[in-house]
């Protein structure tokens, strides 16, 4: 199901080398921007598991992103850091439980109903944090310290240092990519792709489809949680906007822009989306139009949907088949 293109492999390795060297040359602003992009790339890959590989279009993926961010904000004491080895597993476990409970319900629906029900659950999470004192209402919560990578007095490395934070995110991005490539090439991954292509026949040849879908829904939720946790830690605050449907829509656009059903496409989508956003917002280039950058972004999305149905990554991996690639 995935003849791996050699061009793609070379491009990915070059991109990795560029990312590894970037903090040596890039200024603070850009190191932070690329950190943000890499975090969103994890988010986009997690959604692609559902949309591109299993054929489940979710419009509520920001729920997991936000839940994990709020988990970090609520767990960590106000004026001192807490070990990442406590807050991260707790945040991910929360996402896994939420995915298991909501997945058991949303996976009973298909197509447009699946879109609506995932959106509805995300809106519920949004309003829990927006309308109650728990999450500081619409102002959100500050996270005054970065998570501590270590235990008690022992610090392995300091996330307050932006370069250290950058490299932690880069390592996690590579780890998530390699993990997912492995999982998608396994029997489990092939079963997911079978479900996307022909769910009915999958049942007829003996696959308990719902169990596989729930499995991937939990995996996608946990990885979205990882990105939400990192994002909250990077910016030092959370507010309900990170759970809004705009956020769910943005990550869906990243996946479509880059190319559905390809992990590398999702990463490319995240990079291009965020960098274009920064570019279009630049009023030295676009003047008065910069305020309405969404208009320009909309045109790009329309153009990709019309002329590159396999997304930007389709330019690199020209194949006649429509099966997934890693």
Partner 1 sequence: MLEVSQLSKHFGGLRANSNVALSVRVGQIHVVIGPNGAGKSTLINMLSGDLPPTSGSIKLDGREIAGLRPDEISRLGVGRSYQKTNIFSSFTVLENCRLAAQSRAPQAWRLFTPADRHAPAIALARHAIAQAELDGREHRVASTLSHGEQRQLEIALSLATAPRVLLLDEPLAGMGAEESMRMVALIGKLRSDHAIVLVEHDIDAVFALADVLTVMVEGQVLASGSPAEIRANPQVQAAYLGTEHGHV
- Of 151 and 188, nearer to partner 1 (C-beta) is 188
Could you tell me the smallest distance in angstroms from the CB atom of residue 193 to partner 1? 8
Could you tell me the smallest distance in angstroms from the CB atom of residue 73 to partner 1? 31
- Of 215 and 228, nearer to partner 1 (C-beta) is 215
- Tell me which DSSP letter residue 147 carries: P
Cα of first residue to Cα of last residue in the chain, in angstroms, is 10
Cα distance between residue 94 and residue 241, in whole Å: 19
Q: How many whole angstroms from its chain centre is CA 120?
A: 19
Listed residue (296, 326, 322, 297) closest to 310, CA to CA: 322
Contact 91/229 with Cβ under 8 angstroms? yes
The tokens for 196 are 């996307």
- Of 2 and 36, nearer to partner 1 (C-beta) is 2
Cα distance between residue 64 and residue 97, in whole Å: 10
Could you tell me the smallest distance in angstroms from the CB atom of residue 55 to partner 1? 12
Residues that bind partner 1 (CB under 8 A): 1, 182-183, 185-191, 193-194, 197-198, 200-209, 215, 320-323
- Of 78 and 319, nearer to partner 1 (C-beta) is 319
- Of 186 and 294, nearer to partner 1 (C-beta) is 186
- Of 195 and 232, nearer to partner 1 (C-beta) is 195
Could you tell me the smallest distance in angstroms from the CB atom of residue 253 to partner 1? 24
The C-alpha R_g of the chain, in whole angstroms, comes to 19
- Of 48 and 233, nearer to partner 1 (C-beta) is 48
What is each CA distance from 177 to 104, 202, 267, 316, 325, in whole angstroms? Answer: 26, 27, 9, 18, 12
Could you tell me the smallest distance in angstroms from the CB atom of residue 318 to partner 1? 15
The strand pairing partners of 154, in sequence order, are 151
DSSP-derived secondary structure for 86-136: HHHHHHHHHHHHHHHHHHHHHTT--HHHHHHHHHHHHHHHHHHHHHSGGGT
Question: If residue 154 lies in a helix (H) or strand (E), which one and from where to where?
Answer: strand 154-157
Could you tell me the smallest distance in angstroms from the CB atom of residue 110 to partner 1? 16
Could you tell me the smallest distance in angstroms from the CB atom of residue 320 to partner 1? 8
């Amino acid at each position: 199901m995935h003849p791996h293109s050699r061009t793609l492999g070379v491009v990915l390795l070059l991109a990795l080398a560029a990312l590894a060297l970037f903090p040596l040359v890039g200024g603070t602003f850009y190191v932070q921007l690329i950190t943000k992009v890499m975090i969103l790339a994890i988010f986009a890959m997690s959604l692609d598991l559902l949309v591109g590989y299993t054929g489940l279009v979710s419009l509520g993926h920001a729920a997991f992103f936000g839940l994990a961010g709020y988990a970090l904000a609520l767990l960590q004491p106000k004026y001192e850091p807490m070990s990442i080895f406590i807050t991260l597993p707790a945040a991910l476990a929360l996402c896994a439980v939420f995915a298991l409970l909501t997945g058991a319900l949303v996976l009973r629906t298909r197509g447009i109903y699946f879109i609506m029900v995932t959106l509805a659950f995300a809106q519920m999470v949004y309003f829990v944090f927006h309308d109650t004192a728990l999450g500081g209402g619409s102002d959100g919560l500050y996270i005054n310290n970065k998570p501590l990578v270590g235990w008690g007095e022992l610090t392995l490395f300091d996330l307050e240092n932006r370069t250290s934070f950058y490299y932690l995110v880069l390592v996690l991005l590579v780890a998530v990519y390699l993990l997912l490539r492995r999982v998608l090439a396994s029997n489990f991954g092939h079963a997911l792709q079978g479900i996307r292509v022909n769910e009915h026949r999958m049942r007829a040849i003996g696959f308990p489809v719902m169990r596989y879908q729930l499995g991937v829904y939990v995996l996608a939720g946990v990885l979205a949680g990882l990105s939400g946790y990192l994002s909250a830690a990077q910016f030092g605050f959370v507010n309900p906007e990170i759970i809004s449907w705009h956020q769910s829509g943005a990550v869906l656009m990243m996946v479509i822009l880059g190319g559905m059903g390809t992990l590398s496409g999702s990463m490319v989508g995240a990079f291009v989306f965020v960098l274009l956003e920064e570019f279009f917002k630049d009023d030295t280039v676009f003047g008065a139009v910069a305020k309405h950058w969404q208009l320009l972004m909309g045109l790009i999305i329309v153009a990709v949907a019309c002329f590159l149905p396999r997304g930007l990554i389709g330019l690199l991996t020209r194949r006649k088949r429509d099966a997934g690639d890693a």
